[in-house]
Chain A
Amino acid sequence: MIEIKNLKKVYNGVIVVNVPDIHIKKGESVGLVGNNGAGKTTLFRVMLDLIRPEAGQVLSNGEDVAGHENWKNYTASYLDEGFLIDYLTPEEYFYFIGGLHQQSRATVDDFLAGLTDFFNGEILKKGKYIRDLSKGNQCKVGVASCLLQNPGLLMLDEPFANIDPSTQFRLKSILKDLNKNKGVTTLISSHDLNHITDVCDRILLMEKGVIIKDIATSSSTLNELEQYFGVGQIASAKTITEE
């Protein structure tokens, strides 16, 4: 489904993303982990044609995302609040997005009715603009608008970061259901290692723009990741004491 070839993004002479070759097959659930500044969001942005890479390309269904727009028909994504039209009410926003995909209002209403649990009564009919919602609730709106588009490929950047624990669990089961039962390819980044190993079948570990590990999730994966991130901390602590 997704093919990344020789991708390079440079900022001020520093390579922030350097991905020689990655394939993501249809129906895979991929988790992206890495410390701050590892290049996760930049990679997402390049994949969504928001940033022009210095070299290489991202193919979606065999077609370069840059300069083409077909991928928009089956790709839904939410990276940050910059994806939401914040002066609309959530309902207006959902109708707008639904309208782009030729869905009638009734269809959108039906769909939203299925998300009642996920919204937890905090989104619909509250008489607020999106900008007046908390960050967590904005995230719910963003994720819901992705689901509304019936995507073939779903990309979320740190969806667990701002939402409450109950919503985190609901989101996890939604994501699993999408992937396992509806065959949606998912690509999710997160700092929460428990969640990401739970939801994803394949983990990509990024460090300084490079994907240094590509693991199929197993019972030992969480341990392996914890060791990587933990070891980093111990090493840096050592250098501090040495100085």
Chain B
Amino acid sequence: MTATFVRHELKAFWRSKNTGKSIAVRVVMGLLILYLLLIVCAIGFNLDKLLLKGGGKTDIVVTYCGIILLYYLSDLFTRLQLQDLPTLRVQPYLQLPVKRNSLVRYLAFTALLSVFNLWPFLLFVPFVLKIVMTDSGGWVALAFTVSIAGLTVFNNYLALYLKRKANINGWVFLIAAAAIILIGLSDFLWHFISIRKFSYLFFGSLIKYPLLAVIPVLLGAVMYYLNFLYLKDNLYLEELGSRKDTKYKSSTEYPFLSRFGSVGDLAANELKLIFRNKRPRSALIMGLFFMFYGLMFYPNPQMNGEGYKVFVSMFMTGIFIINYGQFMYAWQASHFDGLLVSKVKFGEFLRAKYLLFTMVSTVFLLLATPYVYFGWKTLVIEVIMYLWNIGVNTTMVLFFANRNYKRMDLSKGAAFNWEGMSGNQWILSFPLLIAPFIIYVPFAILHQANTGLGILGLVGLVCTFTRGFWIKKLEADFHTKRYTIAEGFRNK
């Protein structure tokens, strides 16, 4: 059965409207992963020397045992943001004589095929073989390896479980991320817990009692089982359809928007789209998570430079543009035909997008103003990046939107079939992330950082005021692509 699923998924991949784009993304991703793997390998094989240098007088085994759990904490954080969720369109199989368990098992097992699960082995196992084996013998080395495997599996499924939950309710993600950040801060900033000591407590004991390796394995198994059960439950949920919610749905109005005429109507519709569908709502709430980026970077003197501030400010004020915009117009895929034949002028349609982006970015800028605590320049940079976002990034995002042909179904259950925050998606937003640095970095190198910032702001401002021109360009571009987009969106 697994082989059939794999075959079907390969077909889905090759026959999708976006195959070209997906392949390009995968190639870039592959190269990036290869590069990272090489680095991790190098670190892994030289870990003993590195620890000797960095650990001072403490025994390297103690330092080693200390960093393992630390690694897993940051690993969890990275996974939450980058790891892909395995997907399979389950609906067509549900009424067929396919065992539910085999469907779920397929989804659960393919989740293990992630590079994230390779890293801990490359990082920690060479040390086990080089040092632990010679010091304490084969059994202890085996216990270490098994523990690492167990923790990896645990982390893998915990991250996926949280992501699946977050998919339905964005707050889950926010709370999980905040919890991880708080744990980190209470060790490194407030010093009232020590993850390293806790980690040594376990791995130190492992040297004396190798049998303790059972604990991480159990943790991994329990997490797997939890995932399995969750997926299985949701198999039923999806089958029952979306008619479960019986609350009275009332009509809403945004009087503020009505002054913009039909552009305002379109923007109001899109706001409703965001608030009434799980996935775009999650995208918005996850945007709030990036408000924490300042807290993660600014208190750290090493990451307080202006280059970091440019980066962080761009995220904080523009995350909605990046995160929501990169799937654009597919949010409206299900009624795109209707939009095309209705009296909506495409120029107005684009104007509504600009209006929406500007509104949301403005709100995020206001939310980010408290960071003035880290110096007035922080606020200036935030405003500059805000201008950049509403001026340049909006236009870039819409340019890419003209090239997105893949349908997205908002009404379907989100737990199984979705694209959200994952490494692949971030690749697509790369151009958006690099662009400001192409302007800023040369000036920073020449010690003219302020000029660089000034130019960023100016470009943003100019682009904002020449929107009419860009809208015309985008409209002309759209008219060459409209049939392909509409056809792609019709492909379920």
Could you tell me which A residues sit within 8 Å of B by CB distance?
Answer: 48-52, 67, 69, 72-73, 75, 77, 79-89, 91-92, 96-97, 99-101, 127-129, 131-132
Given A97-B342, A100-B343, the answer on whether A52 and B335 have CB atoms closer than 8 Å is no
Complex: chain B residue closest to A99, CB-CB: B265
Q: How far is the CA of A75 from the CA of B262 in the complex (A)?
A: 19
Residue among A79, A86, A97, A128 making CB contact with B334, cutoff 8 Å: A86
| Contact present for A72 and B342 (CB under 8 Å) | yes
| Contact present for A127 and B341 (CB under 8 Å) | no
| Contact present for B483 and A72 (CB under 8 Å) | no
Other A-B pairs beyond A83-B335, A87-B272, 18, CB < 8 Å:
A50-B486, A51-B483, A67-B479, A69-B345, A81-B334, A82-B335, A82-B338, A87-B276, A87-B277, A87-B410, A89-B249, A91-B251, A92-B252, A96-B269, A127-B247, A131-B411, A132-B242, A132-B243
| Contact present for B273 and A87 (CB under 8 Å) | yes
Q: Is B487 an interface residue (CB 8 A)?
A: yes
| Contact present for A129 and B336 (CB under 8 Å) | no
7 contacts between A and B (CB under 8 A): A50-B341, A50-B486, A51-B487, A75-B341, A84-B338, A86-B411, A87-B277
Q: Is B337 an interface residue (CB 8 A)?
A: yes
Contacts of A81 in B (CB 8 A): 334
Given A52-B483, A82-B490, the answer on whether A88 and B269 have CB atoms closer than 8 Å is yes
| Contact present for A84 and B335 (CB under 8 Å) | yes
Interface string of B236-279 (1 = CB under 8 A from A): 00000011000111111000000000100100010011001100
Interface string of B327-364 (1 = CB under 8 A from A): 00000001111101111110000000000000000000
**How big is the B interface, by class?**
20 to 34
Complex: chain B residue closest to A155, CB-CB: B341
Interface string of B463-492 (1 = CB under 8 A from A): 000000000000000010001001100100
Tell me the minimal C-beta distance from A82 to chain B in angstroms.
Answer: 4
| Contact present for A129 and B343 (CB under 8 Å) | no
Could you tell me which B residues sit within 8 Å of A by CB distance?
Answer: 242-243, 247-252, 262, 265, 269, 272-273, 276-277, 334-338, 340-345, 410-411, 479, 483, 486-487, 490
Residue among A77, A100, A127, A131 making CB contact with B248, cutoff 8 Å: A127
| Contact present for B269 and A49 (CB under 8 Å) | no
Tell me the minimal C-beta distance from B478 to chain A in angstroms.
Answer: 12
Return the 7 tightest CB-CB contacts between A and B, nearest first. A127-B248, A83-B338, A100-B343, A52-B483, A82-B337, A87-B276, A85-B335
Greatest chain A CB density within 10 A among B243, B252, B335, B479 is at B335
Greatest chain B CB density within 10 A among A83, A87, A99, A128 is at A87
Tell me the minimal C-beta distance from A24 to chain B in angstroms.
Answer: 18
Q: How far is the CA of A155 from the CA of B284 in the complex (A)?
A: 38
Tell me the minimal C-beta distance from A102 to chain B in angstroms.
Answer: 9
